[in-house]
Amino acid sequence: MVSSSIPTVDLSPFFNEEGDEHGKKEAIENITKACSEHGFFNIMNHGIPTDLMNKALQLSKTFFQYPPEEKLKLSPAPGDCQIPVGYNIQPDHSVDKNEYFLVFQPGSSMNVYPENLPELRSVIEDLYSRFLGIGSLLESIINDCLGLPQNFLKEYNNERAWDFMAAFRYFPATEKEANGITEHEDGNCITFVFQDEVGGLEVRKDGEWIPVVPVEGHIVVNVADFIQVLSNKKFKSATHRVVRTKGRSRYSYGFFYNLHWDKWVEPLPQFTTEIGEPPKYKRFLVKEYQKMRMRNKLDPPARPEDEIGITYYAIDT
């Protein structure tokens, strides 16, 4: 019987000035188990104010309710950036039914914000900086979960210029279509998501779909493709999807803790040669993988199963 929910981990021991080694140890054990079995878990007491997250959701809702011509003014110019910063909507022929506003390095000249919603920029920049801190903390915890030398992942992944965040809106389901985004795995290191009360996020485990029920103040975390490859599949980049609800739009934010696009990725020797295990993935360049994933999104194949994912680099054993 598959559990009907994903695990929840309390991060308060990592913010306790007096130190709580027992609490840290318990959290590390729970995250290790979650990354091995689910690839997904909730975090609570993570240091990001619930009021800030709710404010961000409300402002994104206001923005997405603008007329299409207003939102399209913030669309990325063709060829401006490898990551399409600004307002985006899925192509008409896509099976996805959502729109999103993508932020890449707040303060960068490549970002655009709606002039008639100035508060959105300040809230997003505050939220973004806090997610950088949570990303660094979870990276350190995952480093310990994997038994790697202290600060190994931090030194390997010391470039924060390729992280990004997006506000999403999923349209209400129709009579014929409830799919919000097709099942997929994330092509980065660690993803953080918080969603409104509508929910719809689901993760697959042992062939079954588990709803990730929204809890106010909780943030959903999942390890993504690069962690799966580095750990030689010790940790899972879990398959997930969004199912839309009839009569209601779904609003959420995702923060994507990433790697520099010029980085090479392959299974670490700690999980291959040092323990006598063959590598499960070929060595690859982040930018090449990201370009293939971007093509999936901008020009989706006719069949979802033809989308390129991390299995493209898998080694048959």
Render pLDDT for 269-306 as a digit per residue (tens, 0 to 9): 999 999 999 999 999 999 999 988 877 766 666 666 66
Q: Across the chain, which distance is largest between two alpha carbons, in Å? A: 59
- The domain ranges of the chain are 8-226+234-259
pLDDT digits (tens, 9 = 90+) for 19-60: 789 999 999 999 999 999 989 999 999 999 999 999 999 999
Q: Give first-to-last CA distance, the chain, whole Å.
A: 29
The predicted model gives 252-281 an average pLDDT of: 96
**φ, ψ for residue 214 (rounded to 5)?**
-65, 135
Chain-centre distance for alpha carbon 227 = 12
Neighbour tally for 237: CB within 10 Å = 26
Pick the CATH number of 8-226+234-259 from 2.60.120.330, 3.10.20.30, 1.10.3210.10, 3.40.50.620: 2.60.120.330
Task: Assign 225 a pLDDT band (cuts: 50, 70, 90).
Answer: very high
